Amino acid sequence: MSNLRKQAMDAILAAARHDISDTLKEQGIENRHDEDADGAVFDVAILYAYRVFARICEQEGLSVLPEEFVDLAAELVEEMAEDADLG
């Protein structure tokens, strides 16, 4: 990974950590290792993935369609599961 990509990823992860912390506080979740905390982290991660998808689409002049994001993410998950089964 190039230095620029690493810096960008580090910035996204730092912002996500902040949002996760805020979300946990807002939802009154004190135990970061319970199922509710897992759900909160998952929600923030999906939101960040969608935001990145939307920004890339906008920069490339493409329509931002939430349904397309869901479809593409589902396809990627299937491919990753197949790769894990083969590995």
pLDDT digits (tens, 9 = 90+) for 51-83: 999 999 999 999 988 999 999 999 999 999 988
**Residue that the structure tokens 């493409």 belong to:** 62
Helix (H, G, I), strand (E, B) or coil at 31: coil
Q: Does the reported pTM lie above 0.85?
A: no
Handedness of CA 34, 84, 73, 1 (dihedral sign): positive
Give the mean pLDDT of 10-16: 94
Instruction: Name all contacts of 39-47 with Cβ < 8 Å and 24+ positions apart.
Output: 44/16, 44/19, 44/20, 45/16, 47/19
Q: For 24-61, write each residue's pLDDT tens digit.
A: 999 999 998 899 999 999 999 999 999 999 999 999 99
What pLDDT was estimated at residue 1?
72
pLDDT reading at 87 higher than 70: no
